[in-house]
Every structure is written in structure tokens, then in C-alpha cells.
Amino acid sequence: MNTRMFWKRVKFYIRERGYTQKETAKACGFSYATFRNWMCKDLNPPLMYANKISKFLGVSLVYLISGQGNDYVSRTNEKVLLLLKEAESNMKKIRRN
């Protein structure tokens, strides 16, 4: 695995989804310090945790590792996230009125 590219993809999807690195680490069940250490040192996370990261971000593990493969999950989640953001915005407008 090219760990530098793995973490580059992870960082991209964290930003894309509007999460923080702390939120990502917590949601995946490990400490932020551990997560930062892996990223800063370009270390391979244990496969179990790499899988948790991919599931949380809605991207296939194969895609995060290789940059290839079916990114269908990612594209579908992007559409869902856009719809959720739109719904959240509409709810805020309704609450103001």
C-alpha cells in the first residue's frame, strides 16, 4: 500500500464530507492521537481500522488503498450528503420563520 496516497485520499474525503480528523477518529473507535500519528508518519493503519475509516467515509477500502476500483459507494454517499445538507438548510429556514 502506498501509505502517502492512502492518507491523501482519507484527508480528501474527510474534508469532502465536512468532518474533522477528531470526529473521524472517534467515529472509527480510536484516539485522535493515534490517528494523527498514523497520518503524520505515513504509517499503515491496521487493516481493521483502515476498513472502519473507509466505511465511515463511505468509500471502498480498495479505493482508499489503490485509488482504483468501484467508487460507487462514494458517489452515492455524496448525493445523499448533498440532500441532507439541503434538508438541513431548509429546516433552519423553517425554524427561523
**Residue 1 above 90 pLDDT?**
no
- Mean pLDDT across the stretch 88-96? 89
pTM above 0.85, yes or no: no
Phi and psi for 54 in degrees, rounded to 5? -65, -40
In order, the DSSP letters of 58-91 are T--HHHHHHS-S--HHHHHHHHHHHHHHHHHHHH
- pLDDT for 66 equals 86
| pLDDT tens digits for range 47-67 | 999 999 999 998 888 889 888
Return d(Cα 48, Cα 23) in angstroms, integer.
18
- pLDDT for 97 equals 79
Residue-range domains of the chain with CATH: 3-96 (1.10.260.40)
Q: Residue type for 1, please?
A: M
